[in-house]
């Protein structure tokens, strides 16, 4: 029937004068995870809502599981699970009741619905809170319950809209593990995120979305290679040290240092860079306030793809370089 | 295991499944009360307080004796309380819309109309409970049925019919309000003049002429009159027909308006 569980071509959605999505193409192969990476307001949620049949596209078409989202929405709904950006559980019901409710709506018998709820509560470490009202849940628990609620009908295709935004690192890792497990069992996933690290960790393929358009796509490694794998950042302890630090780093990375306040940063292409910087700083008698090596962020991706920062939306308009 | 089967999936929900889903969603709304028992107070304790307060504070002054006043007022209080309870439809719908629960439901393969129908059905259950409770307290206070049990049932049906009609107004309020608090604000602000500029607490002939017109045109008055007739005896047909006419008119105007507003809010305009 099809090589892809999710295919979208030229999806467009307008809200009044806002072009929320202006021609998105994407494909997700069965059993893989596509990461949709983009800053706030770039059109991720709108795209997911169209694919999940919650919004009608203004133009373009898409098929999920081989069914047209426009003409066969009911079939699509039988195949998908959706975890929205904002946890959408009934706060007045307990975690268990929320899951039983979905099971009943999906046509499970009372006992089947209860059994499925028990399974999911165990799988998502919510057994202790099963009989508490969802409004008493922590952010991480609520996300897990929301994800569990999307899985009651064992959907083969899962939409996860920023599943870990706003979670602390431990809750995030925990959710990543759960998502990994689902994928290992064969679920096809479309995941949106603002974190390159998250897309890198979970996705087989990534598309980068900006202002409703796909501006880059590839595997995480391809994308990272384009960006420069890591960034070195040195923060001067005193302002007088700054010129020397800039000079020394520019020399080591041949020119590409960027200065922001007291911080000097540069792409760290080679693993030798950090020790080299430490030696040179030491030789010059400079003690930096901070010295670190970090992975590329969404902002770095944007800077390298579009020549502007991810968040600087309004005033970047004039200086914007054409996307590749 | 997860692959979509080659055999085509059903393209529609059957009516029977849709009804089943409606019952499930109504059950969910009623289940909410179990964890928030204070909600029960809103449509149980509040009407009883109203009844007692008006009965003992105004009863003597308005009708001469509390017993006469009870017979005049109880049917009216049932109607008034019905109006206020409809706000729950708007409040609950708005909560679902703002918290994303409505989206979760819409992404499920269930009947499109089930979420709304479930809400309204749950509201009717609350309404029936309130009527029952007010009647029970009324009887404890000395109310005597001047008619028959079937007239009493007819009164309940009539009140529920109006509740159904007014629910459509509250669906609209629920859809256009920013948050649940605004639903309550708009809902009660609209309901207060409508319920009090009526003959629920005071007979029409005690009011100045200009007010009489407003009061007698008010659907709450017709419904209160019909309910009085059905519970204590007296003319029924004319006020009952007026009530049904009003219920029909409200439904015809507000059901399409509400559905259009809902679809627009859901971004499908
Ligand atoms: N219901 C809506 N009405 C009006 N504008 C909207 C609506 N939903 C989204 N937008 C706008 O569309 C753009 C894309 O939003 P969204 O898809 O939510 O982006 P993301 O999920 O990537 O943050 C934003 O500019 C947002 O303000
Ligand atoms: Mg979003």
Please tell me the total count of domains within chain B: 1
Residue A312 has pLDDT above 90, yes or no: no
Residues forming beta bridges with residue A68, ordered by sequence position: A63
Q: Which CATH class is domain A229-295?
A: alpha beta
Residue A324 has pLDDT above 70, yes or no: no
Query: A259-298, pLDDT tens digit by residue?
Result: 888 889 887 777 788 888 899 999 988 888 988 887 777 6
Q: Worst-scoring range by mean pLDDT, A50-54, A147-151, B47-51, B89-93?
A: B47-51
Residue A87 has pLDDT above 90, yes or no: no
* Residue A108: per-residue pLDDT: 96
Q: Which two tokens stand for residue A147?
A: 């994800």
Return d(Cα A49, Cα A55) in angstroms, integer. 6
Ligand 1 neighbourhood includes A46 CB (under 6 angstroms): yes
Q: Provide the residue ranges of all domains of chain A, joining segments of one domain with +.
A: 6-225, 229-295
Q: How far is the CA of A181 from the centre of ligand 1 (A)?
A: 31
Q: Do B108 and A65 lie within an 8 Å CB cutoff?
A: no
Residue B67 has pLDDT above 90, yes or no: no
Q: What is the DSSP letter of B64?
A: S
ipTM above 0.90, yes or no: no
Q: State which CATH number among 3.10.20.90, 3.40.50.300, 2.60.98.20, 2.120.10.70 fits the domain covering A6-225.
A: 3.40.50.300
Q: 3-class SS at B24?
A: helix
Q: Do B267 and A54 lie within an 8 Å CB cutoff?
A: yes
Mean pLDDT of the A218-227 span: 82
Nearest CA to ligand 1 atom 12: A20
Q: Worst-scoring range by mean pLDDT, A168-177, A236-245, A297-306?
A: A297-306
Q: Note down the domain range covering B157.
A: 18-268
Q: Do B10 and A75 lie within an 8 Å CB cutoff?
A: yes
Mean pLDDT of the A102-127 span: 96
Going from the C-alpha of A150 to that of each of A108, A120, A158, B243, the distances in angstroms are 15, 10, 8, 45
Residue A207 has pLDDT above 70, yes or no: yes
* Residue B3: per-residue pLDDT: 53
CA distance B164 to chain A (A): 24
Confidence of residue A319 (pLDDT cuts 50, 70, 90): very low
Nearest CA to ligand 1 atom 10: A20
Q: How far is the CA of A100 from the centre of ligand 2 (A)?
A: 28
Query: B164-182, pLDDT tens digit by residue?
Result: 999 999 999 999 999 999 9
Confidence of residue A320 (pLDDT cuts 50, 70, 90): very low
Give domain status of residue B26, yes or no: yes
Radius of gyration of chain B from its Cα atoms, rounded to whole angstroms = 21
Our mutation pick for probing the ligand 1 site, out of A11, A15, A310, counting the most ligand atoms within 8 A of Cβ, is A15
Return d(Cα A300, Cα B134) in angstroms, integer. 67
Residue B231 has pLDDT above 80, yes or no: yes
> Which 13-32 residues of chain A touch chain B by CB within 8 A?
15, 30
Q: What is the dihedral of CA B186, B192, B194, B196, to 10 degrees?
A: 180
* Residue A321: per-residue pLDDT: 34
Residue carrying the six token digits 């307060």: B53
Given this chain, do its domains A6-225 and A229-295 carry the same CATH topology? no
* Residue A314: per-residue pLDDT: 38
Q: Which ligand is nearest the CA of A12, by number?
A: 1
* Residue B2: per-residue pLDDT: 53
> Which 94-133 residues of chain A touch chain B by CB within 8 A?
94, 97, 101-102, 104-107, 133
* Residue B268: per-residue pLDDT: 55
Mean pLDDT of the A38-44 span: 93
Confidence of residue A310 (pLDDT cuts 50, 70, 90): low
Name the pairing type of β-strands A157-161 and A67-68: unpaired
Please answer whether residues B71 and B232 qualify as being in contact, where contact means their C-beta atoms are separated by less than 8 angstroms. yes
Q: Among A310, A4, A70, A205, which residue's Cα sits nearest to residue B4?
A: A4
Nearest CA to ligand 1 atom 3: A15
Return d(Cα A193, Cα B10) in angstroms, integer. 33
Q: How far is the CA of A311 from the centre of ligand 1 (A)?
A: 15
Average pLDDT over chain A, rounded to an integer: 88
Query: B189-201, pLDDT tens digit by residue?
Result: 989 888 888 888 8
Query: B103-149, pLDDT tens digit by residue?
Result: 999 999 999 999 999 999 999 999 999 999 999 999 999 999 999 99
| Residues surrounding ion ligand 2 at CB below 5 Å | A 44-45, 85
- Identify which of A241-245, A286-290, B224-228 has the greatest average pLDDT: B224-228
């Amino acid at each position: 029937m099809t090589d892809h569980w999710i295919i979208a071509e030229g999806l467009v959605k307008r809200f009044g004068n806002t072009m929320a999505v202006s021609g998105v193409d994407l494909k997700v192969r069965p059993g893989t995870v596509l990461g949709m990476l983009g800053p706030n307001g770039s059109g991720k949620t709108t795209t997911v809502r169209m694919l999940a049949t919650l919004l009608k596209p203004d133009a373009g078409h898409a098929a999920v599981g081989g069914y047209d989202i426009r003409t066969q929405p009911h079939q699509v709904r039988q195949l998908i699970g959706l975890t929205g950006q904002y946890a959408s559980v009934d706060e007045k019901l307990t975690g268990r009741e929320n899951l039983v409710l979905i099971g009943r709506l999906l046509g499970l018998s009372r006992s089947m619905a209860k059994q499925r709820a028990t399974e999911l509560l165990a799988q998502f470490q919510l057994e202790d809170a099963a009989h508490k009202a969802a409004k008493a849940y922590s952010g991480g628990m609520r996300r897990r319950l929301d994800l569990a609620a999307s899985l009651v009908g064992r959907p083969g295709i899962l939409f996860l809209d920023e599943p870990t935004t706003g979670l602390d690192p431990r809750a995030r890792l925990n959710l990543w593990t759960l998502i990994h497990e689902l994928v290992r069992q064969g679920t096809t996933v479309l995941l949106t995120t603002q974190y390159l690290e998250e897309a890198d960790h979970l996705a087989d393929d990534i598309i980068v979305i900006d202002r409703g358009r796909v501006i880059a796509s590839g595997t995480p490694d391809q994308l990272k290679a384009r960006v420069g794998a890591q960034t070195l950042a040195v923060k001067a302890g005193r302002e007088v040290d700054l010129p020397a630090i800039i000079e020394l780093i520019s020399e080591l990375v041949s020119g590409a240092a960027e200065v922001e306040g007291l911080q000097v940063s540069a792409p760290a292409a080679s693993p030798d860079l950090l020790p080299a910087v430490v030696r040179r700083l030491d030789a010059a008698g400079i003690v930096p306030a901070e010295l670190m090596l970090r992975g590329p962020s969404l902002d770095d991706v944007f800077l390298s793809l579009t020549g502007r920062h991810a968040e600087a939306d309004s005033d970047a308009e004039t200086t914007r370089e054409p996307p590749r | 295991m997860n692959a979509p089967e080659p055999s085509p999936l059903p393209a529609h929900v059957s009516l029977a499944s849709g009804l089943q889903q409606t019952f499930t969603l109504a059950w969910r709304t009623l289940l909410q009360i179990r964890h928030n028992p204070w909600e029960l107070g809103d449509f149980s304790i509040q009407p009883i307080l109203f009844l007692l307060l008006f009965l003992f504070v105004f009863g003597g002054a308005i009708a001469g004796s509390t017993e006469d006043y009870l017979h005049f007022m109880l049917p009216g209080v049932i109607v008034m309380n019905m109006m206020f309870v409809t706000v729950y439809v708007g409040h609950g719908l708005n909560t679902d819309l703002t918290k994303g629960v409505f989206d979760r439901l819409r992404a499920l393969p269930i009947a499109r109309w089930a979420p709304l129908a479930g809400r309204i059905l749950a509201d009717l259950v609350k309404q029936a409970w309130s009527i029952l409770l007010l009647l029970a307290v009324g009887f404890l206070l000395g109310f005597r049925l001047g008619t028959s049990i079937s007239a009493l049932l007819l009164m309940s049906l009539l009140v529920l019919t109006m509740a159904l009609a007014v629910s459509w107004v509250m669906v609209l309020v629920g859809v256009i309000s920013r948050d649940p608090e605004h639903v309550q604000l708009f809902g009660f602000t609209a309901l207060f003049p409508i319920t009090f500029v009526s003959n629920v607490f005071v007979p029409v002939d005690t009011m100045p002429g200009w007010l009489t017109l407003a009061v007698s045109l008010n659907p709450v008055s017709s419904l209160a009159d019909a309910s009085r007739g059905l519970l204590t005896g007296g003319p029924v047909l004319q006020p009952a027909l007026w009530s049904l006419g009003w219920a029909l008119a409200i439904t015809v105007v507000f059901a399409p308006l509400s559905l259009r507003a809902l679809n627009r809010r859901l971004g499908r305009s």
